[in-house]
Amino acid sequence: MALPITPDYDSWPIDETLVKVVHEARYLSVTWSDGRVSRFHSVWLRENAADDTTVNPATRERILDLSQIPAWPEITEASIDEDGALSVLFTPEDRRLRFHPGFLRANDYDNQDALPPELPPLTLWHGEQLEQPPTIDAARLAEADHGSAQEAEILYPTLHELLGKGLVRLRNLPTEEGAIEKVAERIGSIRTTNFGHLFNVRAIQNPDSNAYTSIALPPHVDLPTREYQPGLQCLYCLENTVEGGMAVMMDGFAIAAALKEEHPEAYATLTTVHWRYANTSRNTDHVWYSPMIVLGQAGELLEVRIADFLRGPMMAPFEQTETAYEALMTLQRMLREPRFAMRFTYAPGDMVIFDNRRLLHARDAFEGDSGSRWLQGCYLERDEVRSRYRMLKRAERAERVEEATQTA
C-alpha cells in the first residue's frame, strides 16, 4: 500500500507523523511526533475522506450526501497503518477509510491557532511608514513561460505584497500598448466594465469620467456604485512627461482604524449608515447602497467605499442625515492629513496593482499641454489573486513532497 490520496489536488508534506490514536464513537484524538494532540469528529472525517463514495476521483468534488447515511457516522476502530495513514472503520456503513497525515495536519481545526496563515497577514500602513509602493523588478516576466519557476520567482513576492499591504509596483515592463493585459492575465481573468476590457487614463475631449481629464482627483476607490465593486485595479504607465500628476495612495483600512480610535462615533456611523453611490453617465446608470466602511461578522474590515464624486443624493432616514454628514466631514478632514498619503511618480514600464476595495488612490493635477501622460488600466478580482497565490504555494508544497520522496 501507499499513502491515500487527499480530497483535494494539493500535496501535503509530512513534517510530523502520527504516533498514537484513541477514539470514542463520535470523535478520535491523534498524537503527533512533536507532541501535538488533535481531535477530529467522526462526521468530519467521514465527509473528508477521499474514496470514490465521498468524492468524484476525476474532479475531487464531493458526491457524498451525509443525510443518506442510515445513521450518524461513528467510529468502530481507529489505528495508524504501516504507511503512517490514519485508518478508520465507520459504522453503520461498515466502511474502512484511510486519511493522509499531511492533510489532517494541514486541516487541524482543533488547533487553529497553530495553523500557518493561509494568506499573508494584513499590514496596515501610513505614508510616513511606506513612502513608495513595494517594488519588484519584472523585466524577465515577459519572457517567462506560464507556470515556470521564473514566473513564480516574480509572481510570488508580487502577490505576497499585494495581499499584505494592498499594493505592489512592477518595474521595467515593456512600454507597449496592451502589455497590461498579458501581465494581468498571469494572475487571473480581467473584469470588463462599462469602461471597457482595458481603459486608457489620459486627458481627452468629452470625457465621461474625471479620470480622463487633467484635473486633480481626490482620494477614492473605483466603482463603489456596483454591488460587487472590482477587487483589484491595475494601472500601467506607457507615457509620462507632463508636469505634475503625481500619484497618491492611501491605505483605507489604516484610515478606518485611525478613525475608530480617534473618532469612534463617526466610525460607528460610517459602518452602519447606507450611502447612495451613483454613476449616471450618458450611457449607464449604476446605483448601489452601502455603508462607507464595510465590516465582516467579527467586526473585521472588508472594504471601504469612499468616492465623493460618485455619491448620489443621500437617502438615509431623516433622523440620521445630519449625523451621517458630520461623520463624513470628519473622514474628509482625515483624508487631507499628510500622514496617510504615499506620493510617487509613474515611470514608463511601471505597473501598480492595488486592492480597490481597500486602498484609496488620487492624483495631483497636471499641465495637459506640458507633455503626455498615458496610463492603461484594467480590473481584476481579489479571488483571482488569492487563487493564484494558493496555486504558487501548492506548487511549492508539491516540490517539497517530491524532494522528500526522492530522498526517502
What pLDDT does residue 311 have? 93
User: Tens digit of pLDDT for each residue in 73-99?
Assistant: 999 999 999 999 999 999 999 999 999
Q: Which CATH class is domain 135-390?
A: alpha beta
Which residue positions in the chain have pLDDT lower than 70? 1, 204-209, 211, 368, 408
The alpha carbon of 72 is separated from its chain's Cα centroid by a whole number of angstroms, namely: 37
The alpha carbon of 31 is separated from its chain's Cα centroid by a whole number of angstroms, namely: 34
- Domain spans of the chain? 18-116, 135-390
Burial of 119 (0-12, 13-18, 19+ CB in 10 A): middle
C-beta separation of 31 from 101 below 8 A: no
Its CATH architecture, for the domain 18-116, is 2-Layer Sandwich (3.30)
What pLDDT does residue 355 have? 98
What pLDDT does residue 368 have? 67
Work out the end-to-end distance of the chain between its first and last CA atoms, rounded to an integer number of angstroms. Answer: 16
b/e 83-117 (16+ beta carbons within 10 angstroms → b): eebbbbbbbeeebebbbbbbbbbbbbebeeeeeee
C-beta separation of 214 from 392 below 8 A: no
Among candidate residues 214, 215, 233, 213, the one with its CA nearest the CA of residue 223: 233
What pLDDT does residue 50 have? 96
C-beta separation of 275 from 291 below 8 A: yes
Distance CA(306)–CA(135), nearest Å, equals: 26
State the DSSP code for 191.
B
Compute the Cα dihedral for 339, 341, 345, 350 and give only its sign: positive
What pLDDT does residue 253 have? 98
What pLDDT does residue 109 have? 97
